[in-house]
Structure formats: C-alpha cells, structure tokens
Amino acid sequence: MSAPNSQIRILSLNCWGLKYVAKDREKRINAIANELGSSDYDIIGLQEIWIYADYELIRSSVASALPYSKYFYSGALGAGLAIFSKWPIDSASIHPYSLNGSPLDVAGGDWFVGKGAASVIISHPELEEIEVFNTHLYARGGESGTETHRAHRLVNAWEFAKLVRQSAALGRYVIALGDFNSIPSSLPMQLISSYASLVDSWEASNAAGSLNSSSTPSPLQAIRDFGITADSPLNTYSAGKTLDAQARRYQGKRLDYIFFREPVVLKNQSRFECRESTVVFRDKVPGSNHSFSDHFGLRAVLALRTESQSAEAEQSSGPRQAIPLALDARIIDSTLQTMIACYRASRSRSRLHLAIFLACIFILMPLVVGSAWLPKSWINPIFLLFTVFVSWLGTTMLYSGFIFGHWEANALTSVIEEMELLRAFQGRPGGVNVHQFTTEATEPLAETNFRS
C-alpha cells in the first residue's frame, strides 16, 4: 500500500449559503474557499451551497489538490450539495427524497430546494470503488417538531439508509456525510446507522461521552467531548438565537456526521479505521467578528488497514464492534408509529383543504353573478381583489389537498409497507396492525393495501 493513499482526510461543512437570507454570505464563502484552498483534505462534502458562483469559487480554490468535483441539481432552487475529490469521479447521481415538507411551508423552504442524497463513485488506487454520499435531511421542527416533521425526516433517513446498504452490497466502500438535522439519539440516526450498518467516525475515535450527565458542559467542552456542530454559543450566528431545550441544556447539538463502512464482501481485505474526528471551522473569519457558517465543520481521518493489521489492532485495543445484520424491532415499531400518525394527520389535513376548496367554489359563484349589479363604481376594485383572493385560495387548497395530499399519503404508505415487510422478513410475529390504524369507519381507503 502506497503511503499517499494509506489514509483519507474528509471534511463535512454546512456553508449556510442561501442567497438574500444567509448573513455575510459572500464574505464567509470567500473565507471558506481560502481555508479549503490551503487545507489537506482528500474528500470534501459541502451542504447549503445554493449559488453556483459560490461553488465555482470554492472549486477554483481547491482545484490543485482536489481536481475532481460535482455540483448537484435538484428541486426548484437546487440541492445545495457539492462533493470535491482528490481521486477521479467515475459517476454521480442524486436521489431526491420523496418527502421534504409541504409546498405551503414557504418559510421552511425544504420542499422548494428538493433535498436529497447526492453521491459520487470515486476510483481509489487501493480500494477501487468508494461511493461518497452527501446529504442534508429535512430541517423543519427539529427534535421537538410535530409528528409530520419527524415522519418526513424519517422518510429521508430510510431512503438514505437503503441507498447506502445497496452500495455496500454492490461491493463498494462507503463514506456518508452531511447535515442530518438529527441528534445521535434520535430515531432517524438510529435508523440510518443500524440499517445501513454505518460506523460513526466521532464515536469511533473519541472517548464515549454521555449527554445525560447531570451537569451542563461548557460550550468548549460540548464541542471537544460531544462533537457539537450546531447552535453552539461559541458560534456568532447562534449566540442570542432562540434555541430549543436540547440545545440550551447541552450547549448546542451534534447534527453533522461522517460515517463509513466496508462492502459486504471485501475484495482486497482492506478495512477503514478512524484515527481522528474533530470539530473544525470553529474560529471566526480572519479580520471579522463572525463565524464561517452557522454550523461548525467536521473532519475525519480514515486509515486503511489490511485484515492482518486489523487483527493486530484488535488484540491490542479490543475487538471491533460487530455490524448489526438486522434492524432492531423497537426502531421498526417506533418508525411505524410515527409514519402512521403522520398518515392520519395527512389525510385529515387533505380533507380540510379540499373542504376549503369547495367553500371557495360556492363563494365564487355568487361573486361572479353579483359582479353585474355593483351599486357603486368604487366597490369594483375591492370586489375584484376579493375575487382574486378567493380564486387563489381555492386553487392552492385544491393543489395542497389533492395533489400534495395524495403525494404525501402514498410516500408514507410505501415506507410503512416496506417496514412491515422488513419486520416480517426478520421473523418477528405479531406487532402493530397498520390497517387498523389507518382505516376509519367513514373511509375504507380502498387505494391502500396495508398488510396486517
């Protein structure tokens, strides 16, 4: 094994690069480009790079060390994902997640950017194929959000885990990174790490620390010991921001991750070993009083070991943790319960929006007829504006209630059935009767075919 390729240095960074919304974007992106241009990374995954000119700036800064790169397109505003590599990129793809919030949630914006899982297949001189995944999961609501928010993020997690699992089954080494918008103990992260058999670089290279301790860590300790990357008081864009109880209690959240795993069948007997995982981009931009982004970055160094070297390492440091072959039944049940609750809420919301649409139709009929008998000319502009508003509301409710309502219900149905098949395959009898939860006395739901 040649020394230059005996380890892989990786960076994941959310750049907070939304035009007109992100503060100090141009200055920060320039500073990020300068920092990356003088760095030693072999693979870089960036999130929230929504302006192509920002991507080009960073690409030109890192081109000498990382000559291969890919910018990913998705949704109306772009996925915001980019990957840079020292080694040649053989192919690239992006999988838009089937659920990304509601089109009515304009402030959230997730639906418009088309979040998804981007990936490139890298031709590595020692490992042959490495598939690098870069993702940014649905953000709305956090851990304390509604059942709908949690369900959409779970759909993202399930689809991401399946992609990783498929890649490993095809004989590829996998590196998966990004902003997962979920803390380590959350259900989406349990689903991803378990079903995709991924190893968390932070946990693999840092002493185990528990956020359940009775004392609140200092902001610096939270970063150093627990890998906090978001909502830290040491980040200028988080300071003074209204945070949820989790972030206040533990001085921020760990939302950014770098995972890795080997293929199902090893071709050259090489394994990954995480030697280092640290939080980076913690300082302020040189010559300014603001941070590089509203997230800190995460760096990981993976060493390549042969089977014999791994055996020697296990003798000195203990055996490597076994990769689970099945998904824990508790994770399946919890995911199903969340999906079912979201399904029922979705159907109820869809019926409400369709009822509003019908009400708008009934309101428009007298408006159209009565427009010929307006008593005063000054009433005409007001009458017209009201008619336009009712027409817009009716059209929006039809779109939301019928098109998006069925879209969401079908996506949830698909995941529910896949989870039930997985539970049956793992040989666990009994369990939740999904048809009982989704079917109401007044609605037979003939379009669904849930298995009991």
Compute the radius of gyration of the chain from its Cα atoms: 25
Q: Which amino acid is at 341?
A: A
Distance CA 380, CA 90 (A): 63
Residue 404 DSSP code: I
Is-contact 153 188, C-beta < 8 A? yes
- Ramachandran bin of 32, using left for φ above 0, alpha for ψ from -120 to 50, beta for the remaining angles: alpha
Task: Kindly list the strands in the beta sheet with 68-71, ordered across the sheet, starting from the edge strand earlier in the chain.
Answer: 68-71, 82-85, 43-47, 7-14, 297-306, 270-280
Please give the Cα distance from 281 to 291 (Å, whole number): 8
Separation between Cα atoms, residue 160 and residue 94, nearest integer Å: 11
Q: Cα(26)–Cα(293) distance, rounded to whole angstroms? A: 11
Q: Name the strand (E) or helix (H) holding 337.
A: helix 329-370
Residue 308: helix, strand or coil by DSSP?
helix
* Rounded CA separation 33/95 (Å): 27
Structure tokens at 391: 């027409």
C-alpha–C-alpha distance, residues 84 and 65, integer Å: 10
Q: With contact defined as beta carbons under 8 Å apart, do 308 and 388 qualify?
A: no
Residue 444: Cβ within 10 Å count:
9
C-alpha distances out from residue 417 to 71, 166, 197, 347, Å: 34, 19, 21, 17
What the block records as the tokens of 367 is 């408006």
Catalytic site residues? 295
3-state secondary structure of 66: coil
Q: How is residue 43 written in tokens?
A: 């693979």
The Cα 317–Cα 322 span in angstroms is 15
User: Which whole-number Å values give the CA distances from 336 to 169, 293, 433, in the listed order?
Assistant: 25, 35, 10
Distance of CA 132 to the CA centre of its chain: 15
Cβ–Cβ < 8 Å for 49, 15? yes
